[in-house]
Structure 1
């Protein structure tokens, strides 16, 4: 029995030692492992009502408040007007070897350094504090190892500031001298870049936001995490990054991963303004004469055959819905991969030129339609494509088998969508670029926008199908569309003007 007790006691001790001495390998905990900075402040204040200590704390926080994370600060303050404070100050003078011409108050002792006088405290406290903080970081590095500075950088494509930050990172030196190190050591710089256009990296940056307590107003790219601080925006990165590297800030940068847990915010979340904009754009583009004319031609052939046009018309519309949804997803991912800055600039230039041409042509078509000179309208499918589409429509509607006709109607919707994309695709491309700004990753949010757009796009087609099914003549519907063509052209021109303006300002 005694042996069992001894074995049980040994087992408990082993478990305890394992728990206590196993190192913490979670990188996020690096921000919680704090070194110590001792600060002793001496001041002279005979006034009982004057809050000199409160004033110093306020000054201290205003200068180094944002740099305190990751270190434990031991602050003590002493009034030399009292004898105990005066005697303690004399001991500090002697211990730090302060020369007589620097023996004045206020004076601040920070670890092995001191700042004498109000001016020195206000001007030099930040540098001294960062230097002492850097010493803590290098003490944690094993001697003989390369001292590595890690910079974690998040960016997105089609972002002017991100392109500028990329240039700054490209000009960084391979190594920098450590300002706080008396042995002349260097820190080697490693930059980890993450495009939040990729879903996994979007989840990762949100984890960094959480660990670094980044306020919502600063949760944007470009953003850099170095050491236990973050630099948000081009100006902060340009002004402070190299200084932080030299101060050894990046030696303790935690490298996080997304393996621990899924981010609940990766679920779909649509903004009301964006939803309305996407729906209206899809609805307007659904009224495009190019799209409607193909539907009317298809329905006229079905009517001549005496076929149930409601079922076939809906199958045709669903084929177009699926085709545009797939095209949008594909083009979105293509734009997402354009990460090189000069490519982005070229794409922006091409988009602006195309937008200008389309605006001019739509305005020209507006005046032509207003004067009923429909043969002068240029923004329509080329004759070759019209003949191509008509050929496929006639081919698929020639079958007498109802099931094959249903499948053919669906397939026809997909094929016609590819053929008419030159005419209807301009506004869709503008919508894709717009969604790219709202959702920098192909996630549920981006996919939901494309579903909304394509649903709105086929609404006019579904309505026309129902109207003709109820007995309206195809010719009457065609004439109604022709009468509304001037306003359709004007709306298209206005949409592209707004789109071009948005690209010019935000891209």
Structure 2
């Protein structure tokens, strides 16, 4: 509100006008704001709101950019009094019994932040209790779906917030006004106990059915694409080649490859669970949630641009000029660790240890897809219900190419497999770029 303390007084010194302030934490003033917005035919969530003449400005930036020009034009027309709608008499119905409204919101939602002022005053002035339920909480999401199923909210409108549910009626987004709330209470007061008869288990299945198929297909695609990342399969080819070079029997090579791949799966799954729990916790804070979704979205889009650049160089055969690949020093460290670990600790344990170490070393490359995908999972209501399942699917798809490459390298030859995979690096880079763009845009829109 700094603009009210600095810029507007400067404008008052420049032009002749009176400034009247209204605190919308008071219900009468909030209703006045709604009435004025109806008269002006405009609404927005930004604060503060300034009405001057025939114009209305939302937020410090718009006030700063436009208010001076409007005041200048009004002064030129020698308008003696600024036009403003007449404040209507408060005609809120009197409510005797306690009314419970179920209000579902998303942390960081601008509409939701503005509605808080209205709800605070409804609770102070009238016999209303507003039960605030964040849809970032699994139980609240399922409850919203169950209520939506019970009162037959169309599927295309379900899990959209902000939403108020009372009895068998509901208000969504722009429909939530004080007049509409009291109309909702008056119309549905007789059937306000339906929450006692809802089906929570059926609601969870409904969410998974509606969102899970599309979202999990995205997880499958992301995991598979991450698995054919040159960072990952270059390591497994070197691993198998080294074992064959040592003269190991093919059966031993297969056992060691399986141990190596299991270690990679375990390491990535643990990294994913840790990252998911951390991000899931911090996005519970409104501002942090928006910042995280926006930052990861921007990072994903940026990586998409870099992947397109790598695609162009890969098509020309300039693989050494690709940016999204492991640095030479890390590659050499991975090769050294594989040699050391497979030479000690037995066939199985040595390979497993090598797999764990290699997983963390190459995470800087493969994690470019993994972390944005996890953030995308948190932003999708369906996937938040089953994070362990989603991460299991992702990591199964991630190691699947490693399994296939290992078998081919043992059965055919590592040279042929390496050459075949190198030919496909351009298309892999192109598909990776598309994935980054899709994830980035989805995360930015979720912010």
Short-chain TM bin: 0.5 to 0.7
Return closer, same or farther for 1:471/1:231 CA change in 2, 3 Å cut-off: same
Cα distance between partner residues in 2 of 1:489 and 1:166: 41
The answer to whether 1:503 aligns with 2:432 is no
Distance 1:369 1:225, change over 3 A: closer
Mapped pair 1:219 → 2:158: yes
Whether 1:482 aligns to 2:422 is yes
Count the aligned residue pairs. Answer: 351
Q: Is 1:458 matched with 2:399?
A: yes
Would you say 1:367 and 2:312 are equivalent positions? yes
| 1:201 pairs with 2:140 | yes
Q: Structure 2: how far apart are the matches of 1:430 and 1:502?
A: 10
Question: 1:505 Cα deviation (Å)?
Answer: 4.0
The aligned counterpart of 1:494 is 434
Corresponding residue to 2:221 among 280, 283, 290: 280
Q: CA deviation at 1:376?
A: 1.8
Residues 373-396 of structure 1, C-alpha deviations (whole Å, 9 max, x = no match): 333222112344334433432232
Structure (1 or 2) with the greater strand fraction: 1
2:351 is aligned to 409
Alpha-carbon offset, residue 462 of structure 1: 0.7
Query: Map of 1:316-465 to 2, 5 A cutoff?
Result: 316-337=260-281, 338-399=283-344, 401=346, 405-440=347-382, 442-444=384-386, 446-465=387-406
Give the deviation of 1:366 after TM superposition. 2.2
More helix as a share of residues:
2
TM-score, scaled to structure 1: 0.60
What's the counterpart of residue 309 of structure 1?
Answer: 253
1:292: how far off? 1.0
Conserved 8 A contact 1:352-1:503: yes
Partner SS, residue 197 of structure 1:
coil
> 1:100 maps to what in 2?
none
Matched residue SS, 1:194: strand
1:448-483 C-alpha deviation (Å, 9 max, x unpaired): 3332222222121111100122141x2332233223
1:366-424 Cα shifts (integer Å, max 9, x gaps):
232233333322211234433443343223211263xxx31332343333222222211
Distance 1:271 1:440 in 2: 6
| Partner in structure 1 of residue 173 of structure 2 | 234
Rounded Cα–Cα distance in structure 2 between residues aligned with 1:381 and 1:406: 26
Secondary structure of the corresponding residue to residue 193 of structure 1: strand
CA contact (8 A) 1:298 1:393 kept: yes
Q: CA deviation at 1:299?
A: 1.8
Partner of 2:201: 263
Q: 2:232, 2:362 within 8 Å by CA — same for their partners in 1?
A: yes
Superposition pairs of residues 83-162 of structure 1, within 5 angstroms: 131=93, 138=96, 141=97, 148-156=98-106, 162=109
Contact 2:223 2:394 (C-alpha < 8 Å) held by counterparts: yes
Aligned-partner Cα distance in 1 for 2:311–2:267: 29
Compute the displacement of 1:288 (Å).
0.7
8 Å contact 2:383–2:390 — kept in the other structure? Answer: no
- Counterparts in 2 of 1:232 and 1:399: CA distance versus 1, 3 Å: farther
The superposition leaves residues 59-78 of structure 1 with CA deviations (integer Å, 9 ceiling, x where unpaired) of xxxxxxxxxxxxxxxxxxxx
CA 1:385–1:163 in structure 2 vs 1: closer, same or farther (change >3 Å)? farther
Q: How far 1:227 sits from its partner (Å)?
A: 4.2
Aligned to 1:165: 112
Equivalent residue number for residue 99 of structure 1: none
Q: What is the CA distance between 1:187 and its match in structure 2? A: 2.0
CA RMSD of aligned residues (A): 3.6
Q: Secondary structure at the match of 1:380?
A: coil
Cα 1:230–1:166, aligned 2, differ >3 Å: closer, same or farther? farther
Superposed displacement of residue 238, structure 1: 4.3
In structure 1, C-alpha distance between the alignment counterparts of 2:196 and 2:338, rounded to whole Å: 53
Corresponding residue SS for 1:397: helix
C-alpha distance 457-441 of structure 1, shift in aligned 2 (>3 A): closer
Q: SS of 1:300's equivalent?
A: helix
Bigger RCO (CA 8 Å, 6+ sep): 2
Tell whether the 8 Å contact from 2:343 to 2:350 is kept in structure 1 after alignment: no
Gaps of 5+ in 1: 1-126, 142-147, 178-185
* Contact 1:221/1:232 (<8 A) preserved: no
Distance between the aligned counterparts of 1:200 and 1:175, measured in 2?
A: 26
